[in-house]
Structure 1
Amino acid sequence: MSLRPFALLLGALLFAVPAAAAERPNVLLICADDLTSCLDEPGVVTPNLDRLRTRAVTFERAYCQYPLCNPSRSSMLSGLRPDTTGIYGNGTPIRQAVPDVVTLPQLFKKNGYFTARVGKIYHYGNPGDIGTDSLDDPESWNRVINPAGRDKAEEGLIINYTARRGLGSSLSVLEADGTDLEHTDGLVAVGAEALMTEHLNQNPDKPFFIAAGFFRPHCPYVAPKAHFEPYPKGSVTVPPFDGQPAGVPDAAVSRIKPYPWYGVTKEQADDSKRAYYASVTFLDANVGRLLDALDDAGQTENTIVVFWSDHGYHLGEKGMFKKTSLYERSAKAPMLVAAPGVTDDGGSCERPVEFIDLYPTLADLAGLGEKAPERLEGVSLAPLLKNPSADWDRPAYTQTQRSKQYGGMGYSVRNARWRFVRWGDGATELYDHDADPNEDENLAADPAHAETVEELAGLLDDYAAN
């Protein structure tokens, strides 16, 4: 990809940026790819996300509707559940599945916002589609940038521990040469900053909706060498594996072949997790560039910032890597919302929420709630932004597809205490998060919990009926 567009955009950074006195807030949507809930794990270095959290509400129990990139992103950006969009895989664009959809950025575009995308917002094959439009939705944006850095150009240097798997579904690592700004995610940050600066110089009274879509920490786990320094070899390890946990249905782990860890050694699994953490720290550095850009432009007090990952990620737990499970580690992912004047003191919210709630939330915060589509299937989180401990009785639903051998689609429901899973073949799982946060003991067959199983199964029945 030519760097000429970046050179032109970077020229805008040489000009002074007037602080806009817009009546409507800007929106900066920052998307990570395959980021697990590791921000509070000891040793994981994320100073810039920590900085954002001081003025954001951190949703500690935010759940995807489908733990796979395209279904999750399509659901969040449309405000519709996967069973409504019909998107269960990575090959279908949202506009093809739902031709009349008004996407989240499109709502802002239709109501006078400048909308722009840099990098992966709708689905991209990662790393295969880096530098392309992939499954983008042109009706969502006024401007787009598709950067590609040396990580894409130097894929031949990557060590792939799972040789039979392509890089996009591999356990593979590279301590890369070059600076942050030579890599794709560094170019995403630079491109988003340049678009913001250019827009503010040309249209200081018009609000923006800019989406920065980072490709890390999705595999291959590639980051500049400096980001590996907090994680010396041997300091990061996967949990021990002693065989498939008792009472766990085969459907739950059927996507990991060979099982466990796709057949890699313990040392290779450890190195993959180490490189994943380095990729998280690289992601964090680029988030910091965006936060600095807002500060430098005088826009921090006028910009809603959302940080979000499309789903969670396994890092060796229960012998699993990656996503597409219905366990907490796959279904839950980081979600932060900083709304000036609403979340200024920060806070932590333990209420279960869903990614489809982001659409009505942002519409509400920007004063576009009445103009949003009537059929949105989430609800505004504004009450929880104002009071993270407010009463909240909505559970969160996540689903994922399995082969016909296991009955097809499986569903889970998560409330404040319990996760209940029902697979298409009738197998069930029940986990008590008050006593068992790692979901090690399946209580579904325990007569002492029959009433809880009946109650949560009823919620799934109601969900399927709607």
Structure 2
Amino acid sequence: DRLAQSCYYSTCGVPVYTLGGHIAYSLIDDSRRDATDHTPDIDRWIALHDSLVAVQELPADAVPRRNLVLIICESLESWPVEARIDGKEITPYLNSLLRDSTTLYAPNILTQVASGRSIDCQLLINCGLLPMNGQVYSMKYPSVTYPSLNKAMRERYGTKSYIFTCDKPITWNQQAIGRAFGYDSLIDRRAWRMDEMIGNPAKLSDGSFLRQSVELLRQGHIWPEGESRMLTFVTYSGHNPFRLPDNMVDPQFDMREKDLPRRLADYIAMAHYTDSQLHILIDYLRSRRDFDNTLVVIVGDHEGLAGDRNDFVKASSLVSAGQYTPLLILNPPVGGGSRMESVAGQIDIYPTLSAMLGLSGYFWHGMGQSLLDPDRGAYAVSMMTGEEVGDSAALTSRMLDMIRSARRISDATIRSDYFKNQPLNGSD
């Protein structure tokens, strides 16, 4: 059946490429490692990070969550959240979640992906590593050893993990990277009925993707009640060119007649559409008896407006000049009902989730700083532009040096397969 065809397990073979990709892979085979010994530099950086950034422990009365559901929304920026057009909310469902007393919201998460875009987001959140310099890690280094939330949760709770996508397994080499991160199964486009398509190239709509995902979960074999799971859902509809089919446009929220640049109007309409579909999955999760033990995270994978941003900022006061994505954490063990306005980077999500999941005992604490850290500096660096955002004056010179050198060190850890000989428990 479709599900059986779409799943892979950690015992599967080599990285998956198209024919052209296979030829390219033979030219850049990651077995030919950078011969330079980066270990001393990496060791020094990690020691500096450990001396400056405290590992966050939950208060004694807080119960860490044993399940993680990560929803990565394609190209979703922060500014549409809570914004209105002619008095109508662009994201009414997300806004309702923000009003929930169990939601923590951080609107100013700086995009830190690089040329890998969506797959870089997975590296940032799941591994606490920054994108490489000038290369896409998933294409050249899909077989090195990566630390991850998956592996940490498996070590602590015996967690099984699944990644759901409507893409092909070869897209960004997702199948190989899923395996390298420690996912037990990839559920890809071969599992789904292609009954409602969006985009160019056309792929399954967020609505159909989430409906079919819930149908699958209701069967019980992926996530039996009482067992620990990590589930990652990668949406697609928000991908450029943000064009909804006419029959899917909300008649109460039709942007086509607005006095806005067409691409901006399409982006707003698509953000509204994705928002309208998220309840399908959240409603299901809330219906489960183990919801109180489940951390639900909704994020944008990266900014979406690219080179049109400056023009759109001039065209509409709604559009943010900054490249920020939203982070909503539902049902956190601490911080529910709070709003963290200070600037953070996508690299800070890994240590935040690690703390909330009770994973402080895992050997890798990431390259960022948890949002729960009262000493966290409101500062981040864009990997695309090099722009430094936030209050650098509040940071020591050692902290600034550490942050500014982090990408070079992350690049070196991947090139040299630094973690190969580290205690990656739970990775087998």
1:371 correspondence with 2:371 = no
Structure 1 residue 293: deviation in Å?
0.3
TM-score (norm 1): 0.60
Q: State the superposition RMSD in angstroms.
A: 4.1
Structure 1 residue 352: deviation in Å?
1.5
Distance 1:457 1:412 in 2: 18
1:52 correspondence with 2:101 = no
Rate the CA distance shift 1:23–1:365 in 2: closer, same or farther, 3 A. closer
Answer yes or no: is the 8 Å Cα contact 1:356–1:377 preserved in 2: yes
1:292 correspondence with 2:267 = no
Structure 1 residue 201: deviation in Å?
8.4
Match of 1:411 among 374, 386, 389: 386
Q: Which residue number in structure 1 is paired with residue 183 of structure 2?
A: 141
Q: Which residue number in structure 2 is paired with residue 352 of structure 1?
A: 343
Answer yes or no: is the 8 Å Cα contact 1:24–1:207 preserved in 2: no
Answer yes or no: is the 8 Å Cα contact 1:58–1:337 preserved in 2: yes
Q: Which residue number in structure 2 is paired with residue 220 of structure 1?
A: 241
TM-score (norm 2): 0.65
Rate the CA distance shift 1:134–1:273 in 2: closer, same or farther, 3 A. farther
- Paired residue secondary structure (2:189): coil
Structure 1 residue 71: deviation in Å?
3.0
Distance 1:97 1:136 in 2: 6
Structure 1 residue 456: deviation in Å?
11
Answer yes or no: is the 8 Å Cα contact 2:125–2:349 preserved in 1: yes
Count, aligned residues: 332
Gaps of 5+ in 2: 6-62, 314-318, 407-428
Rate the CA distance shift 1:392–1:3 in 2: closer, same or farther, 3 A. same
Q: Which amino acid aligns with 2:159?
A: Y
Answer yes or no: is the 8 Å Cα contact 1:65–1:398 preserved in 2: yes
Q: Which residue number in structure 1 is paired with residue 148 of structure 2?
A: 103
Alignment of 1:107-186 (within 5 A): 107-111=152-156, 112-119=158-165, 129=171, 133=174, 136-139=177-180, 140-147=182-189, 167=200, 183-186=204-207
Distance 2:334 2:226 in 1: 22
- Paired residue secondary structure (2:69): strand
1:234 correspondence with 2:257 = yes
Structure 1 residue 129: deviation in Å?
4.1
Structure 1 residue 115: deviation in Å?
0.8
Match of 1:69 among 99, 118, 130: 118
Q: Which amino acid aligns with 1:335?
A: L
Q: Which residue number in structure 1 is paired with residue 211 of structure 2?
A: 190
1:203 correspondence with 2:219 = no
Rate the CA distance shift 1:363–1:199 in 2: closer, same or farther, 3 A. farther
Gaps of 5+ in 1: 7-21, 159-166, 169-173, 175-181, 238-269, 322-326, 384-389, 401-409, 419-451
Distance 1:183 1:76 in 2: 24
Answer yes or no: is the 8 Å Cα contact 2:76–2:300 preserved in 1: yes
1:231-289, CA deviations, whole angstroms, 9 ceiling, x for partnerless residues? 2422251xxxxxxxxxxxxxxxxxxxxxxxxxxxxxxxx22222222221221122111
Structure 1 residue 102: deviation in Å?
1.4
- Paired residue secondary structure (1:31): strand
Structure 1 residue 5: deviation in Å?
6.2
Q: Which amino acid aligns with 2:188?
A: N
Aligned-pair identity (%): 17
Distance 2:324 2:222 in 1: 39
Distance 1:232 1:292 in 2: 28
Structure 1 residue 341: deviation in Å?
4.3
1:39 correspondence with 2:81 = yes
Distance 1:202 1:34 in 2: 28
**Higher relative contact order (Cα pairs below 8 Å, separated by 6+ residues):** 2
Larger mean Cα displacement after TM superposition, 351-360 or 190-199: 190-199
Q: Which residue number in structure 2 is paired with residue 27 of structure 1?
A: 68
User: 1 or 2, which has the higher strand percentage?
Assistant: 1
